[in-house]
Amino acid sequence: MKQLLFSLALTPIFAIITAIPVKAEIRTSVIEYKHGDTILEGYLAFDDEIKGPRPGVMVVHAWKGLGKYEKRRARELAKLGYVAFAADIYGKGIRPQNNQEAAKQATIYRSNRKLMRERALAGLRVLKRQRLVNFQKTAAIGYCFGGGVVLELARSGARVDGVVSFHGNLDTPNPQDASRIRGKVLVLQGASDPLVPIAQVDGFIQEMDAARVDYQLVMYGNAVHSFSNPNAGDDPSTGVAYNAKADRRSWQDLKTFFAEIFKNRFASK
């Protein structure tokens, strides 16, 4: 079994912990880094058969923290030819075990958008400093809570080519900051999502239009919250459920979006 060792020339970011090949061509690593005094723990994935720098994509987790689902998405992005880094917003070891704990953690950042943006930027810096990443070609995607995070990252004025929100929160206390968005925006929503009501969607549209952002909003019929996650259950009446069609279509929409913003061979796979 191959092992990879990275060094991260970041201050105060530091330390690689482990490296485990997922398949013959995909390599993964757990990376410790810091934001202030808080230690964070992210997950890197890339295809070592591809030579030379390539676009990098940051993945931001849902409200239960970085877990198996986000790591799987990072590996899927690596299979498409990107370097993917699943960032950690909460901190090392902070992985809520139930909805009550998750709500408590998510509220810390939803009530402090400055902190949310800074944690996202810390992860983006880790991604951009990977030796296989073309730091001038980056994007960020997020799921549920993470969808809201990547939109706030864009509103911060971060230098990313695009952000993609999967069934994420669209509201913000600072809609005027949409004028700072540098890249393109893709929002993928369930048309029947009770956690992101149509009033919130309408507010987002008004925000983007007012700032003349280059954005796309795709609504999937009969889909509710967490439609892309097979672990979300199969009962739409709860407001949270997996929808295989919306999952497949949204992933294809992501690939089409990346083909547009990156203009490279990886996006067409």
Residue ranges of domains in the chain: 53-268
pLDDT tens readout for residues 115-131? 999 999 999 999 999 99
pTM: 0.90
In this predicted structure, what is the pLDDT of residue 129? 97
How far lies 207's CA from each of 106, 138, 143, 178, 182, in Å? 23, 24, 21, 7, 15
Give yes or no for a contact between 220 and 250, defined as CB atoms under 8 angstroms apart. yes
Flag whether pLDDT at 15 surpasses 90: no
Give the DSSP letter of residue 230: G
Q: How far is Cα 105 from Cα 140, in angstroms, rounded to an integer?
A: 21
Q: Are 28 and 18 in contact (CB under 8 A)?
A: no
Segment 45-65 shows an average pLDDT of 96
φ/ψ of residue 107, rounded to 5 = -65, -30
State residue 257's pLDDT score. Answer: 98
What confidence category does residue 25 fall into, taking pLDDT thresholds of 50, 70 and 90? Answer: confident
Is it the case that residue 12 has pLDDT exceeding 90? no
Q: For residue 182, give both structure tokens.
A: 């540098």
Write out pLDDT tens, residues 178-231.
999 999 999 999 999 999 999 999 999 999 999 999 999 999 999 999 999 999
Instruction: State the CATH class of domain 53-268.
Output: alpha beta
Residue 2 banded pLDDT, cuts 50, 70, 90: very low
| pLDDT, mean of residues 69-94 | 98
pLDDT of 265 over the 80 cut: no
Does residue 9 carry a pLDDT above 50? Answer: no
Q: What is the mean pLDDT of residues 49-69?
A: 96
**249: which 2 tokens?**
């279509």
Question: For the segment 27-54, what is each residue's pLDDT rounded down to a tens digit?
Answer: 999 999 999 999 999 999 999 999 899 9
Helix then strand then coil, % of the chain, to nearest 5: 35, 25, 35
The predicted pLDDT at position 8 comes to 40
231-254 mean pLDDT = 97
Question: Between residues 6 and 160, which one has the greater pLDDT?
Answer: 160
pLDDT averaged over every residue in the chain: 91
Q: Return the ∠ at Cα 120 (arms to 194 and 65), rounded to 5°.
A: 55
pLDDT at 102 over 90: yes
pLDDT score for 246 = 98
